[in-house]
């Protein structure tokens, strides 16, 4: 275990400055008030390629011989690593081939191509793309750049810890997302070198907690599935090479449910005006499980590459989850003035109608009941109850139903 040395980390920290933007810590009043700690954000979502991955890719290429670079680079990725390798290879003037699953969103494919990479679409999932990339590497003699199970790549990712400690020397906790283990390996190993008192916490999606499973087993294990909205960290098996460093340097693992990521997305957009992808939000979503007070905590926001449709879906689910959007069913007689009474009660309670469906055929006796389905905007759970109570007070019995925005 002599690859991750302080000398290499220092060298990498200087090198990656050529291809990274400064991501100075952002103090969060909101998350600090929620936790009782001083919470800082490390916004790697603001990098050129929208994620930290360019650090590891660039440092990895810098360690190669001219001969290895001339052979061309190849990797497999559906997202941030693809763009990181393509961008770094362009800076070194070497060819890069990226194998991406056929289901990769067009915007990610085009962005990767925009950095000069040759993109090959193959297979339905990452594993298929990776197997094909390894096959091409062997057949054509290209140099494979692994997304996470490579100690040079991990060294490059660890430069984040160097910047955190330089800017906030008294940091107590660093929270970092875990997918395959490259980021947490570099960050934890360097943080402990710089100050052994720093606690490094890894955060995984609960449905893809491959590092937690590996630590419990004492070795990497393969999960049966990794089904999570945090697609950038949906890894069934962590890296063999990086695992020993995680065992030695990571203090704890926190797992986060997808619902908590949805809430964290809303918090980030509303309080910091930043778009952070679901995987990048793991560190923020884990704050509510971090049982400490009066500590200085840094959350690494690992990336911000999220397509608009996904963003829209997450926002809608977040609003529903927090009762800021809800739907009710109200039965009322089919006679003039009833709709006005319902609307007036809602307006008096400061509710805002988003959608209205009037169904006259819910009962064969229309005089007894027609159904009104209303989707409303509220300030939260308490306000939702106030609106429903206002309807009861004028003689209706609202029944909450599943909210629909489309």
Residues 67 and 178 in one domain: no
Residue 47 lies in a domain: yes
Residue 89 has which token pair?
């290879």
The answer to whether 219 touches 243, Cβ cutoff 8 Å, is yes
What's the number of CA atoms in the CB half-sphere (13 Å) around residue 294?
A: 0
Residue 313 lies in a domain: no
What's the sign of the alpha-carbon dihedral 325, 332, 372, 259? Answer: positive
Residues 299 and 372 in one domain: no
Catalytic residues: 53, 302
Residues 173 and 257 in one domain: yes
Residue 186 lies in a domain: yes
What's the number of CA atoms in the CB half-sphere (13 Å) around residue 212?
A: 15
Domain CATH code at residue 130: 3.40.50.1100
The answer to whether 147 touches 76, Cβ cutoff 8 Å, is yes
Residues 296 and 374 in one domain: no
Domain of 102 in residue numbering reads as 58-144
DSSP labels, 211-249 = HHHHHHHTS----S----S-GGG--SS--TTTHHHHHHH
Name the nearest CA neighbour of 21 among 169, 188, 163, 195. 163
How many domains does the chain fold into?
A: 3
Residues 222 and 351 in one domain: no
Among candidate residues 109, 144, 179, the one where a domain is terminated: 144
Please state the pTM of the whole predicted model: 0.88
Rounded CA-CA distance 151/3 in Å is 7
Among candidate residues 278, 305, 332, the one where a domain is terminated: 305
Residue 203 lies in a domain: yes
Per-residue tens of pLDDT for the chain, all 406 residues: 578 999 999 999 999 999 999 999 999 999 999 999 999 999 999 998 999 999 999 999 999 999 999 999 999 987 889 999 999 999 999 999 999 988 787 878 888 999 999 999 998 877 788 889 999 999 999 999 999 999 999 999 999 999 999 999 999 999 999 999 999 999 999 999 999 999 999 999 999 999 999 999 999 999 998 888 988 888 889 999 999 999 999 999 999 999 999 999 999 999 999 999 999 999 999 999 999 999 999 999 999 988 888 888 888 889 999 899 999 999 888 888 888 999 999 999 999 999 988 876 666 565 567 889 999 999 999 999 999 999 999 999 999 998 766 5
Residues 36 and 180 in one domain: yes
């Amino acid at each position: 275990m002599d690859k991750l040395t302080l000398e290499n980390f220092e060298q990498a920290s200087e090198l990656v400055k050529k291809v990274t933007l400064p991501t100075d810590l952002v103090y969060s009043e909101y998350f600090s008030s929620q936790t009782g700690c001083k919470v800082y954000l490390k916004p790697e979502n603001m990098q050129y390629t929208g994620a930290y991955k360019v650090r590891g890719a660039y440092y990895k290429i810098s360690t190669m011989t001219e001969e290895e670079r001339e052979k061309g680079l190849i990797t497999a990725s559906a997202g941030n690593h693809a763009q990181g390798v393509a961008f770094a290879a362009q800076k070194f003037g070497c060819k890069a081939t990226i194998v991406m699953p056929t289901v990769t969103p067009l915007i990610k494919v085009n962005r990767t191509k925009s950095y000069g990479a040759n993109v090959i679409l193959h297979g339905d999932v990452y594993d298929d793309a990776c197997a094909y990339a390894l096959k091409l590497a062997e057949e054509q003699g290209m140099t494979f750049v692994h997304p996470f199970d490579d100690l040079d790549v991990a060294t490059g990712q660890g430069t984040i810890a160097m910047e955190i400690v330089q800017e906030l020397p008294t940091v107590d906790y660093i929270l970092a997302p875990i997918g395959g283990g490259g980021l947490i390996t570099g960050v934890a190993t360097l943080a402990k070198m710089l100050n052994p008192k720093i606690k490094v916490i890894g955060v995984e999606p609960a449905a893809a907690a491959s590092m937690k499973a590996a630590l419990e087993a004492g070795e990497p294990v393969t999960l049966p599935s990794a089904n999570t909205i945090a697609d950038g960290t949906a890894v069934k098996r962590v890296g063999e090479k990086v695992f020993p460093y995680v065992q030695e340097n990571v203090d704890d693992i926190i797992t986060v449910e997808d619902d908590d990521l949805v809430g964290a997305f809303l918090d980030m957009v509303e309080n910091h005006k930043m778009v952070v992808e679901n995987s990048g939000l793991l560190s923020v979503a884990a704050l509510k499980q971090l049982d400490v007070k009066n500590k200085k905590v840094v959350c690494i926001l690992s990336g911000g590459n999220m397509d608009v449709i996904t963003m829209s879906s997450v926002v809608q689910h977040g609003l529903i989850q927090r009762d800021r959007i809800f739907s009710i069913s109200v039965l009322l007689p089919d006679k003039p003035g009833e709709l006005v009474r319902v609307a007036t009660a809602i307006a008096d309670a400061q509710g805002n109608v988003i959608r209205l469906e009037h169904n006259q055929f819910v009962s064969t006796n229309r005089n007894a009941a027609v159904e009104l389905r209303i989707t409303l905007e509220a300030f939260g759970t308490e306000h939702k109850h106030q609106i429903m109570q206002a309807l009861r007070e004028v003689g209706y019995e609202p029944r909450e139903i599943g909210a629909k925005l489309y």
